[in-house]
Amino acid sequence: MSDDQLKRNIRPILHKPYGSMDLVSVKAPANHGSHSKDSNWWVVLNLAFQSIGIVYADLGTSPLYVYPSIFSNGIKHRDDILGALSLVFYTLTFLPLVKYVFVVLRAKDNGEGGTFALFSLICRYARVSLIPSQQAEDREVSNYKLELPSKRLKLASVLKSSLEKSQFAKIFLLLVTMLGTSMVIGDSIFTPSISVLSAVAGVKEVTSALTDDMIAGISVVILIFLFMIQRFGTHRVSYTFAPVLCVWFVLIGVIGFYNIIKHDTTVLKAINPMYIVEYFIRNKKDAWISLGGVVLCTTGAEALFADLGHFSVRAIQVSMCSMVNPALILAYTGQSSYLRQYPDEVSDAFYKSVPGPLYWPMFIVSILAAAIASQAMISGTFSIVHQSLSLGCFPPVKVVYTSANHEGQVYIPAINYILMLACIGVTAGFKSTVKIGNAYGTAVVFVMTLTSSLLVLVMIMIWKTNIFLIILYILTIGFVELLYLSSVLYKFTSGGYLPLALSAVLMIIMYVWNDVYRRKYHYELDHKISPARLKEISANKNMSRIPGLAMFYSELVHGIPPIFEHYVSNVPALHSIIVFVSMKSLHINKVPPEERHFFRRVEPRELFTFRCVVRYGYKDVREVAFEETLVTKLKEFIQEEILLQNQMLSTIGNNAENGTESEGEIVERNNDVANAKQLEEEIMQQEIEQVQKEWEEAGIVHMIGESEVIAKKEANIMKRMVIDHAYNFLKRNVRKREKVFDIPHERMLKVGMTYQL
């Protein structure tokens, strides 16, 4: 049988679209890292020690400013101190300890935490993503699968179905995630301001010559220095964080214990919650307003969840229960004991309660602890913005990877300078920790409340928690957080407006960019090239083939994007090899490198065209050698494709032997199969050699869509404002797409397009 006859007989079976074949996925080995961390107590203790320097800096420095914020108008009754201490004790117990350490940390996404982790868990379980880019193959990624309990509850199915059917619910869920992200970014403005200002204010204990303006000026200088060193990366100084914070917690714990023994041991009776009741009866509305100061003792609690990716759950639980929580309780109790004897010194309770010989050591350590707390929040903001970029929720900005060993450590210059200016403005504008505390409390409580809201969805749909436990959580933790939220909102005009205003600006930016991003995707989906049109292009006699490999970049993961139509209508030439590349972000933290590239062959085969979806998680880093990796994966795909086809040919031969064919027909069939295998292997070798040759000799040309986005003529005024003005303003002032992909300018060709949305 001739080669042409073999092709005619075998190709109809073999050359189905590659996506319709049953693919054999290569799974990454199961990750037992978290199990080994928890089973090896030495490793757990080591991680617990390290976590103290990263996770607890913000929470640990809260004793600097909590009591001045609670008693901003002074202490009116001696027993009010017991009521405030009781509130602080139970707030620390219920929110950071019970809620975050023992409940929220369970909602980890492959070891990662934070608002995006909760949102990603929900998106993977229910189809609530607003972009229809889901592929069945995505669920085969090893990190994508969820560990679900075996039991099924009707409530979980009903809620899942409701979310998937409601467009309003999908948009609302996205807005909640954006609001939570915006509030965390707001935290990174207020944390440096209040921490550094509170620490520097301690110098007034040794000299009264310094005014509030001078202290604010010194704080601004420290903040500028702190932001200037961000470009060098946290890995250069982070190894000192844990020892400094350990010294800090030991000092505040020991000083607190000393103050309890020296001044008033009766403060220990504040463990009785009746003092809270008496505090509210005695002060009524003022007690409710003071809750905005009490909640500041939980600042940094969200970091317990957000920084989970660096440590195991057990390590954070051990460090919290063994050192952090006891030290904070002793610190607040010691300050209360001191204030029972010296109630007029509440405005500077922390430094006033420090014994004289320990003042300077405590002042130096407090400055360092405040700087570490600021550093942790700034670095966290860089990470959050990086995640937002990956999911198309933030305009493109330059991202610098500051560590070769720790890929999660990033520095974003534009965000760094914006945060620096905002911190300087807040510090120089307010000059008071009480006023900054009003703004800070609003951001803290909003983030906690939004986390609880998403967590309840996780409890119902994914964990399938008993409904009575969910109700108990809402009635206890939820009620407490709403109570605190009502208090901080009362201080709206006294600084509480600032985080809401900042969050509103950030949300508008994020939503406008994401909204147009989604509209562009739907436009490409509606205008993708049909298979018939592609065959017509390939059969066009006027279309010449030129050497080289062309990459067409698009967001589209299904079909051929319209950028190709625009290109061939203006340039009657196609490169020898064409690859349509889509950068796709999955709702998981990381995609294993061996599962990142998903190829399909585009028919007809003679066109030598492929689709490649490059899948990233929201914490993944783009490869430096992107071209080389893609070419290597393309050659591997061609090889695997032929191997799969040969397996199918072997199956055809085996089935023939089990059928009713004569012995002669079976021999002939086996010969045909063997010849077909040899032919396919020869084709494979030729294609791989051609890919290598085109890459080495002619190189790669990158086709980037230079799109102009305008609203349709019939669009309403709101849509016109979003697309024609807001989006295009952002587009003009952010990084260009080729810079984001790090594409060499000399090998880039821009294809002009107009999107009428």
The answer to whether 688 and 639 are in contact (CB under 8 A) is yes
**What are the average pLDDT values for consecutive 10-residue runs of the chain, which has 757 residues?**
44 37 35 45 78 85 93 92 96 94 87 81 83 69 69 76 88 90 87 90 78 89 89 63 90 96 95 96 94 92 77 86 95 96 92 92 92 82 82 82 63 89 92 86 91 92 90 94 94 86 91 89 86 81 86 85 86 88 84 88 84 86 79 88 72 57 65 72 83 87 84 87 87 67 73 80
Q: Report how far apart, in Å, the C-alpha atoms of 363 and of each of 46, 238, 256 are.
A: 28, 21, 16
Residue 273: cis peptide before it, omega within 30 degrees of 0: no
Please, which residues bridge with residue 615 across strands? 584
Sequence-ordered list of residues with C-beta below 8 angstroms from that of 13, at least 6 positions apart, any chain: 648, 652
Coil vs helix vs strand at 579: strand
pLDDT of the residue at 19 = 34
Rg (alpha carbons) of the chain, rounded to whole number: 31
pLDDT of the residue at 13 = 37
In 3-state terms, the chain is what percent helix, strand and coil (to 5)? 70, 10, 20
The answer to whether 159 and 464 are in contact (CB under 8 A) is no
pLDDT of the residue at 22 = 34
The answer to whether 74 and 308 are in contact (CB under 8 A) is no
The answer to whether 183 and 503 are in contact (CB under 8 A) is yes
Residue ranges and CATH numbers for the domains of the chain are: 58-516 (1.20.1740.10), 528-653+664-756 (no CATH)
The answer to whether 440 and 186 are in contact (CB under 8 A) is no
